[in-house]
Amino acid sequence: MSAAFKRKPTSGRWKRRGKRGLAILPSLLTLGNAVCGIAAIIKVAKIQWAADAPSPYFWGTNLRDAALLILFGMVFDLFDGRVARMTRTTSDFGGQLDSLSDAITFGVAPGVLTIMANAEARFPGQPFWTKLAWVFGIAYSCGAVARLARFNVENDHDEKAHMEFKGLPSPAAAGVIATLTLVQSWLLGFGTHVAAVTNVALLDFAKAITFGLPFVALGLGYLMVSKFRYVHVANRFFRGRKPFYYLRVLFIPAVVAALVPEVAGALIFFVFALTGPILALRSRGRTQIATVPETTAAPLAAPAQPLPAPEAPALPKPATGT
């Protein structure tokens, strides 16, 4: 190879510039998460509860779109930290930016969705109920922000340390609210103008989801600030090589998710949210069993030793004459 075609050595200046430019990719992914959250809030804010509203499908479609945007934000949040660790560009700036984006998408947006689904204009004769929805929705958002602040303090950039979380992760909490909204939208036919079911009980259940959201949001807010342990599903079960039976275990859930993704998503997020308290109760039960002293029967008294036989009295010696 001639000298004209030899690759020139890269200077240290270009190496440093390339390293700084590489950190842009995870930052763009994080900002994509924030954009999804802002768009979800805008979608919900466009709902106008009024008697002359054009159609219930209008606000139903907006709630559905806001829920989808929250789930899209999870996709960005799933990859931004992983890309930063793969490219070795993790930094405190990236961690703070990620938490701020999570606060918008997984904290504020689900809280606003819960409040607007139970807005006062929708239930004009029930001021207490709408106030309750306000308080519970705000409690959810405050719990998410507090959870993210605690994560920032205790966070470790090493991916090997991300095997479990203290408290319910905010994306999982937002996923519960988003998927419940999608289940309601699917059952009532928002967006398609055709209800997915005709059973009266299921239709009543779909309408009751609106009234259940504030209570679900309050419970999720508590789980986020709790000390319950939650496993990191991606790092624990999908990182590295796994046995072949993992595919068999995932086959049926994958089929169900393909057939009814709304129901499957809601079940996955809801069950995951309950794993923290369930595992805590299970661990506490094992601890109590281990600390209870074993009840054993009192040992039998040893048989009494036979008394020694009394010694025979000594016979007097006969007197002897001299």
Each residue's pLDDT tens digit, 251-281: 777 887 788 888 889 999 999 999 999 988 8
- Mean pLDDT lowest among 8-17, 73-82, 199-208, 273-282: 8-17
Instruction: Supply the DSSP string of 174-194, one letter for each residue.
Output: HHHHHHHHHHHHHHHTTTTTS
What residue spans define the domains of the chain?
Answer: 19-236+250-290
In the chain, % of residues over pLDDT 90: 37
pLDDT at 136 over 70: yes
The two counts, helices (H) then strands (E), for the chain are 11, 2
Higher model confidence: residue 222 or residue 299?
222
pLDDT at 14 over 50: no
How does DSSP classify residue 55? -
Each residue's pLDDT tens digit, 31-47: 999 999 999 999 998 88
Each residue's pLDDT tens digit, 139-180: 999 999 999 999 888 876 555 556 678 899 999 999 999 999
Query: In 208-319, at which residue ranges do the beta strands (DSSP E only) sit?
Result: 229-231
Amino acid at 41: I
E strand or H helix at 290, and its extent? helix 261-291
Instruction: Supply the DSSP string of 256-271, one letter for each residue.
Output: HHHH-HHHHHHHHHHH
pLDDT-based confidence at residue 103 (cuts at 50, 70, 90): very high
Residue 319: the pLDDT is: 54
Residue 52: the pLDDT is: 52
pLDDT-based confidence at residue 5 (cuts at 50, 70, 90): very low
**Helix (H, G, I), strand (E, B), or coil: what is residue 165?**
strand
Instruction: Supply the DSSP string of 91-134, one letter for each residue.
Output: -HHHHHHHHHHHIIIIIIHHHHHHHHHT-TTTSTT-HHHHHHHH
Each residue's pLDDT tens digit, 78-98: 888 888 888 887 788 888 899
Sign of the CA dihedral 18, 19, 20, 25?
Answer: positive
